[in-house]
Amino acid sequence: MTQAQKLWLTFVSISGFLVVALGAFAAHGLQPYLDEKAQGWFELATRYQMWHTLALLGLVATLLERNAAFRLAAWAWALGIVLFSGSLYMMAITGQTALAWVTPLGGTAFLIGWSSLLVGSFRLQEPARKKVE
């Protein structure tokens, strides 16, 4: 395993732990304190964080080192998790919507990640086949 894969696996592990912990905390500890709108933000943040954490895990486990587009996808998804989910968590917990402008930046990062994955998939090459003589 390369250093880059170890770094990404560490990020995925932390993100996976946090999404489960934050989801449980919101469901059991924060529910009396959050209004319906804030609960919706929190749920949306955990849903997007979980899906992109799983996408990162798949990429790290299989193809991250194959090309630059996959590395860009990984960075974009990580940034999307921090910006999109992070801003929604903060708005839900604090009630302050000043960070609302950050959320679409995170969403854009998610889209860049998925687009980069598509580009990277087109760049994959099949391994050379040995000639049988």
The Cβ of residue 98 has, within 10 Å, a number of other Cβ atoms equal to 10
Mean pLDDT value across residues 15-40: 85
> What is the C-alpha to C-alpha distance for residues 51 and 40, in angstroms, rounded to an integer?
17
**Is residue 133 pLDDT above 70, yes or no?**
no
> What is the C-alpha to C-alpha distance for residues 117 and 59, in angstroms, rounded to an integer?
9
More confident residue, 109 or 126: 109
Mean pLDDT value across residues 17-27: 83
Maximum distance among all Cα pairs of the chain, rounded to whole angstroms: 73
pLDDT in tens, 28-82: 788 888 889 988 998 999 999 999 999 888 887 776 666 788 889 889 999 999 9
